Amino acid sequence: MYQSTSTEDLTDSSYSEFKKLFKFYKRRDHSLDLSAFFDPHKYSEVFNLKLNYVSDKCLIAVEKIFKTINGLRPINQWTLTTFLHRPGLFIIGGVLTIPEQLKWIERCLLEYSEPPNITNLFVQSNNPYKGPNVFKNNSKKLRWVTLGNDYNWDTKEYDNLARQPLPVEMVKLSQLAVYSIGLNNFFPDAAIINFYPQKSYLSPHVDRSERDLTHPLVSISLGQPTIYLTGGTSLNDPVDALLLRSGDILIMSGEQRLVYHAVPRILEGNEAFNEEYIQMVKEKEILDYANNCRINISVRQVDN
C-alpha cells in the first residue's frame, strides 16, 4: 500500500513491515498520493471497502440515544464503512455536524483538559503544571489527557476504580456508535484524548491494557485529517493505510480489537473550518487549532 522508494532504511530487513510503512509515511521529504489510501468515504472494490448505512435492526437502539444528543446529522446521512478483509473494523462517517465537531474540539481543549483530569503536563518530571487554563497556558505542550478510569503510562495499567465518571456526552456518543454497528452492552468507563499538533505522531502499538478485552474500542477523530495505519497481531502482518477525517468514528472490535495501529502523521491544511464558524467557539484559538491540528478521543470499557 505504499509507494516504492530506494531509501536504504526502508529496505533494511531489521524493520518489520509495519515499521517500514510507518517510517515511510512519517517522512516529509516526499509528496503523498492520497488516492493510494483506503478512503472510508468512498466505495471501492479495489480496496475491499463496502459502504453501508445503519441497518434497520440497529435503528431502534440508535434512535433512543440519538434523541438525547444535539448536533447530529440525520441517521440516513450516516455512512458505515466495513472492510471485507478486516471483519470487526468499522468507520462511521457523517454523524456530527461541523458546528458539533467544533464543540467537541472546544470541550477537549477547554473542559476535558482541566483539573482534576490528568494531562502529560501534570506528570512531567520537570516543572509539572497542575493549574487551571491548561490550553491557554500550554497549548503547544499539551499531548494527552485521561478521563474516568485513569491510564498509567508508566505501568501500562488502569486504576482499580474510576476517578470520576466519563462525561455523559462522551458515553452517549460512543454508545451510539457501537450500537449502530449492531453491538450492545457497551458501558465505557475510561478515555484517552490525544492531541496532535503539526509534525506529531503516534507510534505502532496495541491497546491491550483493558482488563476485559471483549469490548470494542471507539476512536473519534476531530480537526485535521490523518494517516491511520492498521495491521495485525504481528508487526509483520499486512498493513493498510486509511485516511481519517474530522468527525469519523472508528471502532475496533472482534479480531480487529488487538491489532497494531499507528498514526505516522497528520495532514494539516487539508480540512478547513472557515471563519463563518468563529461565532460558534469561545475563543479564536479553538478555530486555529482545528485548522492546524488533530484531536482523537479514544473511549473504552476497562472492566466487564
**CB distance 141 to 268 below 8 Å:** no
Q: Once rounded to an integer, what is the mean pLDDT over residues 36-41?
A: 82
pLDDT digits (tens, 9 = 90+) for 197-211: 999 999 999 999 999
Q: What is the pLDDT of residue 49?
A: 59
pLDDT at 60: 76
- Residue 169: what pLDDT? 97
Rounded average pLDDT over 4-28:
70
Q: What phi, psi does 277 have (nearest 5°)? A: -95, 5
Q: What is the C-alpha to C-alpha distance for residues 116 and 272, in angstroms, rounded to an integer? A: 32
**CB of 156 closer than 8 Å to CB of 209:** yes
The partner residues of 195 in beta bridges, in order of sequence, read 295
Mean pLDDT of the chain: 88
Is pTM, for the whole model, over 0.75?
yes
Q: What is the pLDDT of residues 43-55, one digit of tens each?
A: 655 455 566 777 7
All three cell numbers of 287, joined, read 478555530
- The answer to whether the annotation marks 215 as part of a ligand binding site is no
CA distances from 171 to 22, 76, 168 (A): 31, 22, 5
Cβ–Cβ < 8 Å for 210, 300: yes
Q: What is the pLDDT of residues 116-164, one digit of tens each?
A: 999 999 987 677 888 899 999 999 999 999 999 999 998 999 998 889 9
Residue 276 pLDDT grade (very low, low, confident, very high; cuts 50, 70, 90): confident
pLDDT band, residue 6 (cuts 50/70/90): very low
pLDDT at 271: 75
Report phi then psi at 186, rounded to 5.
Answer: -110, 115
pLDDT at 230: 97
**Is 205 annotated as ligand-binding?**
yes
Query: Considering only CA atoms, which of 165, 164, 159, 124 is closest in space to residue 141?
Result: 124
What domains are there in the chain, each with its CATH number? Answer: 40-300 (2.60.120.590)
Does 10 have pLDDT greater than 50? no
Q: Is the pLDDT of residue 9 over 60?
A: no
User: Is 248 annotated for ligand binding?
Assistant: no
Extract the C-alpha cell encoding 181.
Answer: 454497528
Looking at residue 29, its pLDDT comes to 86
pLDDT computed for residue 8 by the predictor: 33
Is residue 285 within 8 A of residue 134, CB to CB? The reply is no
Q: How far apart are CA 191 and CA 300, in angstroms?
A: 6
